[in-house]
Amino acid sequence: MPSARSGVLRAVDVCLRVAAALLVAAAAFLLVPLPELRAAQIELTLAVQGLEPTCVRGLLVLGTGAGGAVRGDFLLCAAALLLLDWILGRASRTSQGL
């Protein structure tokens, strides 16, 4: 029978996966420079940068030939969240005895 601890770990696990997916989607949205959506892209960038750790903010940001940007900082944070997701998933399975 799953314990309350493993249930909480599973819920956090799902939240981390969703947050990582949103960061990857934000990075993909910023790849293509659309003049109609430029204001939304800037607002999204500022909002996500406000949530990032300062040591990662602006790291590995690469401009594309089309005028967009590959946001390496968003992708690094997504990778860190997926790593935490994997660690918590292992901890959840270990607490269940699997």
Indicate whether 19 pLDDT > 90: yes
Q: pTM of the prediction?
A: 0.79
Rounded Cα distance, 80 and 58, in Å: 16
Exposed e or buried b per residue across 19-44, where buried means at least 16 C-beta atoms within 10 angstroms of its C-beta: bbeebbebbebbeeeeeeeeeebeeb
- 73: containing domain: 4-96
pLDDT digits (tens, 9 = 90+) for 24-80: 999 898 888 888 988 888 898 888 888 888 888 778 887 888 777 788 888 999 999
- Looking at the structure of the chain, the number of domains it has is 1
Give 6's pLDDT tier (boundaries 50, 70, 90).
low
